[in-house]
Chain A
Amino acid sequence: MTYLLILPILIPMLTGVVSLVFWTRIRTERTLSLIGVSALLGVAVALFLEVWNGGDAQILTMQMGDWPAPFGITFAADLFSAIMVLLTGTIGLMTTIYSTVNIDRQRVAHGYYPLVNFLLMGICGAFLTGDMFNLYVWFEVLLISSFVLLGLGVEADQLQGTLKYVVINLVSSTIFLSGLGILYGVAGTLNMADAAVQLAEVAQTRPGLVTTLAMIFLVAFAIKAAMFPLFFWMPASYHTPPVSISALFAGLLTKVGVYSLIRIFTLIFVHDAAYTHRTVLLWMAGLTMVIGVFGAMSQMEMRRILAFHSVSQVGYMVLGLALAMSGAEIVPLALAGTIIYIIHHSVVKSNLFLISGVVRWLRGSAYLKKTGGLITTRPYLSVLFFIAAMSLAGLPPLSGFWAKLTLVQAGLSIGHSWIVAVALFTGVWTMYSMTKIWSYVFWNKPKGETSPNFEKPIDYSFFELSVHIAPILLLVVATVLLGLFAEPVIAVALTAANQLLEPSIYIKAVMP
C-alpha cells in the first residue's frame, strides 16, 4: 500500500499539468480541478485509514528510485503526516468548490487552477517527505505557486502585499538553505531520520553547535509559520487576493511552517529541550499569542482581523509543542493539543475567510463600518458565522474548546500556570474580536457610509449563492462534529503525538 504515499503528490501534479493543456477553457479546468481535488481527498482518507489501522508503530515509507534510506530521498507518513494530508484534501476541496464562483474569468484564464494544484502538490510533498533538502524543494514549489496566486490580478494593494510576502519568504528560504548546508556539514546527512541519529552523537561533544543549527531552522520555519517577531508579512498580504486564495493560504500555508517546526523539534533537535523548548519556543509561543490578538483588536477590516488572529492561533499550536518537552518528563497530551488545534484551526479559519468573502460579495466591502444588518437579510449566514467564530474563540462544545482545553490541561499538569494564563487571556480577546465582527457585520443596522455595491449582489443567482454557502456549511458541520465527537479526535491526536515523541519508531521505519 506504499503507493498511497506518492499519490497525494501525483494527483495534484497531473491535474495541474492537464489544466495547463486546457489553459483557456475555463469550464474544463474547473471540472478537472474539482475531480482532481476530490481524488486527492479520497486518497488522503485512504492514507489516513491505512496508517491509523496499522496501530501505534505504523509508518509507511517509500524510498524514491529504490535508493536505500540515508542516501536516497525517503517519503514517510506517520499519523501526523496523514492527518495533515487529510486536512490539505479537505481544505483544498472546499476552497476549490468556492473558487468556481469566487474566481473571475481573468484569473482563471491566467492559470489559477494549475497554480492551485501545484500549490497543493507542494503542501502534500512537504507533509510527506522524510528528507530535509526535499522539504526545502517542496517549500519552493508551494512558495512559487503562492507568489503567483497572491499577485494574480495585479491590483495595487495586492502587489504591495505580494512584495512583502515574496521578500520575507525569500529571506526565510535563504536561512533554511544555509541551515541545510550546516546540517550537512555537521551530520553528513540530510535524511531526517539519519540526521536525528547523527546529531544525537554530535550533541554529546558539541551541544552548542547543534543548538545553533536548531535556532537557524527555527527562524526559517517561524517566518513561514508567522510567529512573533516574524509575522508582519501575513496581515499585510492575506487580505489582498480573492477570498478563496486567502482561505486556502490561511488554512494550509502557515500549517506547513508549524508542521516543519513540530517535525524537527520532536525528531532532530531534542537534545537540549530546556533551552530550545522551555525557553525559546515557549516564550515565542506566548508572545505570538498575545501580540497577534492585540494586533487584531486595532483592525477594522474583516480579513485583516482574521489574519492577525491566525498569528495568535499559531502561538497556541507552538505552545503545545513547547509544553510537550518543557516538563520533567515528556507530555504527549500537549502535542496532542497542538494537533487538535491544527485540525480545528484549518477548518475554522479557512471557513471564516470564506464567510468574509460572502460578506464582501453581499455588502460590497469587508470594512466593518461599511457593512451591517446581515442578521435580518441573511440569517442563515449569520448563524454559520456565529458557530465558526465561537469555535475560534473556544466555546464548548465546538472544536476550539477541546483544542484549548487539552493545551490548558497539559500546561497545568506540568505546572506552567503562567503560560496557561496567557493562553486563556488570549482566548478572551479572541472572543472580543469575534464579537466585534459579529456586532458590526451581522447584528447592528448599517450606519455611516456603505459601499455603492451594498446589498446589490451583482446579479446573484440562487445557484451562485448556494455554491458560496455549501463549503461554508460543510466546514461548520465539521467543526461541530469535531466538537461533539471529541473523544475519537483526541484519541487520534494522542496516538499521533505518542508516535512523534518516540523518534525511534520513525527512525526504525525509515532505516530498518
Chain B
Amino acid sequence: MILPPSEQPDNTPTPAPLLGLNSVILDTAARALLPLLLLFSIFVLLRGHNDPGGGFVGGLVAGSAFALHAFAFGVQQSRETLRFSPRLFMAAGLLIAAGSGIYSLLLGHPFLKGIWSETVVLPAIGKLGSPFFFDVGVYFVVIGVVVTFIFTLFEDANN
C-alpha cells in the first residue's frame, strides 16, 4: 500500500523491529560506528577528486551508516537522527549538482563544463572546481535514495 504509515489500518501491536533489535552489542557498536562511517564517507567523497572514490560510493557508505542505525534503534529514531526528510537530501543534492552545471552555463560555456578556481586551494582536495560540487550533489542524492529505500522497507515490514 502506498498509504502513509499513519493511515495504515493498525490492528496489530507494533512489533519489535520498528524499535530496533534491542541488542546491547549492536546498540553500542552502532553508536560508535555511525560517526565513524559518516567521517569515512566524507573521506571517500573527497578522495574521489583524484583517486577512486567519489560522491556515489561516499553516499552509499553514509546511507549504510543510517541503515545500521535503523537496525539498532528503529526507523523512528533514525529519522530523528537524520533530522531532515530523506526527500530533502535528494532535492538538495539534485539542486547542487544541477547548480554546478548551470554555473558554467552562466559563464557562457557548455552545460557541465568544469570551471576551476585558480585562487581557492583547499588542503585535502586541491583546486576547487565545479565538478567537486557535482560530486557533493551526487553524494546527497545517493544518501537520500538509500535512506528512503531502507526506511520504506523497514516500515513496510512492520505493517
Q: Which positions in A face B, CB cutoff 8 Å? A: 2-3, 6, 10, 13-14, 17-18, 20-21, 23, 62-66, 110, 152-154
Given contacts A10-B102, A154-B2, contact A2 B110 (CB under 8 A): yes
A10 to B102, CA, bound (A): 9
Do residues B98 and A66 form an inter-chain contact, with CB atoms below 8 A?
Answer: no
Partner of A152, one of B2, B90, B91, B94: B2
Q: Is B88 an interface residue (CB 8 A)?
A: yes
Rounded to whole Å, the gap between the CB of B6 and the closest CB of chain A is 12
Q: Which residues of B sit under 8 angstroms from A65, Cβ to Cβ?
A: 110-114
Q: Is B105 an interface residue (CB 8 A)?
A: yes
A445 to B135, CA, bound (A): 64
A13 to B111, CA, bound (A): 14
A154 to B8, CA, bound (A): 14
Q: Which residue of B lies closest to A111 (CB)?
A: B87
Rounded to whole Å, the gap between the CB of B119 and the closest CB of chain A is 22
Residues 88-112 (chain B) with a chain A CB within 8 angstroms: 88, 90-91, 94-95, 98, 102, 105, 109-112
Do residues B91 and A64 form an inter-chain contact, with CB atoms below 8 A?
Answer: no
Q: Is B1 an interface residue (CB 8 A)?
A: yes
Partner of B94, one of A2, A3, A17, A64: A17
Partner of B111, one of A17, A64, A110, A153: A64
Residues 50-109 (chain B) with a chain A CB within 8 angstroms: 85, 87-88, 90-91, 94-95, 98, 102, 105, 109
* Given A21-B88, A62-B110, A154-B2, 8 more pairs with CB closer than 8 A: A13-B98, A14-B95, A17-B91, A20-B87, A64-B111, A65-B113, A66-B109, A152-B2
Do residues B88 and A64 form an inter-chain contact, with CB atoms below 8 A?
Answer: no
A14 to B112, CA, bound (A): 15
Do residues B110 and A13 form an inter-chain contact, with CB atoms below 8 A?
Answer: no
Do residues A21 and B91 form an inter-chain contact, with CB atoms below 8 A?
Answer: yes
A62 to B90, CA, bound (A): 27
A65 to B98, CA, bound (A): 13
A23 to B4, CA, bound (A): 13
Partner of B87, one of A23, A63, A64: A23
Do residues A63 and B95 form an inter-chain contact, with CB atoms below 8 A?
Answer: no
